[in-house]
Amino acid sequence: MGQKDIAEKILEAYNDVFSDIVNVLLFNGDQILKENELEDQAPRSAYKADGKYREIERDVAKRWKNKNIRLACIGLENQTEPDADMPLRIIGYDGAEYRAQLNNENQRERYPVITLVLYYGYDKHWDKPLSLLERLDVPEKFRPYVNDYKVNLFEIAYLSREQAKLFKSDFRVVADYFVQMQTTGTYIGNPEELVHVQETLSLMSIMTGDHRFEAVLSDEDGSKGVVIKTMCDVLDRIEEKGRMEGRMEGRMEGRMEGRMEGRMEEKKEIAINLHSMNMKDTDIANVVKVSLDVVRKWLGIAPA
């Protein structure tokens, strides 16, 4: 699994963030799912196909427990682009968990499996199938016998401002960013302090494709006086880095222009010297590697 895949999952894997996402999206902010009632679940499941064992892997999955009784398995899947095969993927994830329950020697341990798909696109709504029957081309006579399977989709950028404010964990920053970008096209930083700074910025970087969010972490050094605590700090640092890069670029351009001007003066001097030796202007242009018009201008010769 690549570093990008790992980074996008770390923030949501924290119990405070995971429970917050579930409570807001499923229960309108009511604190139904407690973070201390969650247990980590290995996101990978194995299945056999073509005589070989293969793996499928969720983004994040946890089991909800009340004392020693498991109440549910809940999984989160992140999407930046609509995926037409999402219903089939969800069936695979959920089916693997149900299979694990069948393989468990504890015959009484049976609980529901719920998967939430978090879609981060803000320039368009999800426009792909959200159920198995929408995805499959099923002959009409067979449709009554094909069990449907629906996707629990949540478009983060299209939550209302009121819904986004219900988040209590660092996910509020993520939701706030996408909601603002979808509604206004700009982002004003949230002044509340982050708990999981690096993980939040890593997720933001991956889901937005703007690597400046994560890049500011490399500058967080007490000796430099750079401390990132809020999204306001992040935006200030991005703006400062932009100004510094602009100044560096300006210096480099100035140096290049100075060098070019110096080289042209040298070429002009060589051209004049060659002309005094009765060399043809066309030959001079070839020697100093500039256009004939420029050479004639240096030598005071009228264009042909």
The tens digit of pLDDT for each residue in 246-255 reads 544 545 555 5
- The reported pLDDT for the residue numbered 85 is 96
Phi, psi torsion values for 198, nearest 5 degrees: -60, -45
Q: Is the pLDDT of residue 50 over 70?
A: no
**Separation between Cα atoms, residue 110 and residue 144, nearest integer Å:** 27
Per-residue pLDDT, averaged over 226-242, amounts to 75
Cα separation, 28 vs 99, in Å, equals 31
14 vs 10: CA distance, rounded Å: 7
What is the overall mean pLDDT for the chain?
Answer: 83
| Residue 68, amino acid | N
Which of 155, 157, 190 has its CA nearest to residue 173?
Answer: 190
Question: Does the pLDDT of residue 39 top 70, yes or no?
Answer: yes
CB-CB contact of 64 with 22 (8 Å): no
Instruction: Find the mean pLDDT for residues 138-148.
Output: 95
Consecutive H or E run containing 281: helix 281-288
Residue, of 166 and 239, whose pLDDT is higher: 166
Residue 245 has pLDDT above 50, yes or no: no
The pTM score is: 0.73
Q: Pick from 234, 122, 235: which is nearest to 178 by CA?
A: 122
pLDDT value at residue 115: 96
What is the pLDDT confidence band of residue 221, given thresholds at 50, 70 and 90?
very low
> Domain boundaries in the chain?
3-191, 247-299
Check residue 304 and give its pLDDT.
58
Question: What pLDDT, on the 0 to 100 scale, is given for residue 223?
Answer: 39
The pLDDT-based confidence of 102 (bands split at 50, 70, 90) is confident
Task: Give mean pLDDT, residues 283-294.
Answer: 83
